[in-house]
Chain A
């Protein structure tokens, strides 16, 4: 499962919308081993194409070194499909070179809604996974207690200490 802050998803969608109808691409870095995407890095699509994306090799070197220096790794690698569904194409699978990353696809084919899906791509095998969108600043383990806070008034009354 991919757990990702809503603010980052919003920024990815905004990037995809901005570059539409060309494909947009980028990375969300996070601490090594954390599986937690924290730093959104929009990348140039060197192909500037509606059907293909490619990181600029020099920008990639710079960004990968920066991640290395910060003890980060690419947690999410995302790109948009601008006229088709958010599912990895054969080209996506052929190129997928980060077995530890979540491959996030955003489809911008509908003007008003986005399709957002996440996949693991390992040795040419595509496995879809659920995406859990977290509200900003809320610890994933705190989500449940936040939900309790929305439960009936009697609970609030008990918690008020009266």
Chain B
């Protein structure tokens, strides 16, 4: 069982500098657990303590964003290629400010999906946070 995993620059400290590593698993969750057994700490950079895929990374299976394939439950097969990229995002307002200004509960919920510090205490799934964040990004303006 070999699944090729492409590692972005920012996470290569966990792979001894390797750009591509191999792992196995029936789901993305299994694969990340397998990788973590050899590249300790990698999983924690991708999965929140609440057990959801982190908001700050994009993970793709072949050509698909795993957010559309069931996130951590995405099914994998031998020969699949998994690509990890840091999400590129940001903007003028901190989400706390956006929440205060807009008064939307959606924006407040998005804080837990966006702030690194708050991610640990977040009970929201990454998929929910993504949806909420996109709405709040529109309404906050």
Contacts and interface: CB of A to CB of B under 8 A. Distances in A.
B83 interface: yes
Interface of A: 23, 25, 27, 43, 46-55, 57-58, 60-61, 64, 73, 77, 79, 81-84, 88-92, 94-100, 124
Interface stretch (B26-34, B36-44, B85-93): B85-93
B52 interface: no
A47 B56 contact: no
B88 A77 contact: yes
A57 B141 contact: no
A54 B137 contact: yes
B8 interface: yes
Interface SS, B side: mixed
Contact of B141 (A50, A55, A61, A64): A50
B91 A57 contact: no
Interface centre among A52, A84, A90 (most CB of B within 10 A): A52
Contact of B98 (A51, A79, A94): A51
Given A47-B89, A52-B140, A94-B56, 8 more contacts: A51-B92, A51-B140, A51-B141, A81-B91, A89-B93, A95-B114, A98-B86, A100-B9
Interface string B112-141: 001110000000000000000010011011
A52 B87 contact: no
B140 A54 contact: no
Contacts of A53: 89-91
B15 to A, nearest CB: 15
A57 B65 contact: yes
Interface of B: 8-10, 56-58, 60, 63, 65, 67, 83, 85-96, 98, 114-116, 134, 137-138, 140-141
B56 A95 contact: yes
9 contacts: A23-B91, A25-B88, A49-B138, A52-B93, A53-B90, A57-B65, A58-B65, A95-B86, A98-B86
Nearest to B110: A52
Contacts of A60: 58, 85, 87-88
Nearest to A80: B92
B92 A84 contact: yes
Contact of A83 (B92, B94, B137, B140): B92
A52 B89 contact: yes
Interface centre among A60, A84, A90, A96 (most CB of B within 10 A): A90
Contact of B115 (A55, A83, A94, A98): A94
A89 B95 CA distance: 10
Given A49-B138, A94-B56, A99-B10, A89 B91 contact: yes
